[in-house]
């Protein structure tokens, strides 16, 4: 069996950084993914509301132009604001 020398107790060189010059690119990627996620959530909310409403689905085709009622739209906007706030909280702490 070979004996290994003990490892040094202190690191040499500067402390590594997670975000060197690419932090703007990473934040932009994060925001783009969040935007796509929110579009999906918004469309799903509209589809769920449309499916649960009194509209007979067999006679009325789905349309991207379907508008949510104002009260449901307000709830969705509040949920979006909370989502963005939670998403940006770690960045605001920097």
The pLDDT confidence band at residue 35, using thresholds 50, 70 and 90, is: very high
User: 27: Cβ–Cβ under 8 A, 6 or more apart, which residues?
Assistant: 91
Report the SS3 class of residue 69: coil
| Per-residue pLDDT reduced to its tens digit, 37-80 | 999 999 898 888 887 876 665 456 666 667 888 998 999 999 99
Strands (E), 1-94: none
Indicate the DSSP class of residue 61. -
**Whole-prediction pTM:** 0.60
The rounded distance, in Å, linking the Cα atoms of 70 and 38 is: 18
Please report which confidence band the pLDDT of residue 12 belongs to, taking 50, 70 and 90 as the band edges: confident
Higher pLDDT pick, 4 / 72:
72
| pLDDT for position 9 | 76
Domain segments of the chain as ranges? 23-54+63-92
The pair of structure tokens assigned to 53 is 């409403």
CA–CA separation, 63 and 81 (whole Å): 25
């Amino acid at each position: 069996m070979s004996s290994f020398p003990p490892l040094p107790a202190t690191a040499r060189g500067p402390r590594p950084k997670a975000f060197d010059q690419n932090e703007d690119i990473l934040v932009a990627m994060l925001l783009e993914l969040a935007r796509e996620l929110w579009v999906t959530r918004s469309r799903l909310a509209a589809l769920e509301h449309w499916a649960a409403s009194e509209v007979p689905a067999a006679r009325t085709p789905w349309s991207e132009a379907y508008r949510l009622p104002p009260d449901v739209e307000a709830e969705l906007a509040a949920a979006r604001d909370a989502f963005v706030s939670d998403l940006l909280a770690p960045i605001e702490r920097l």
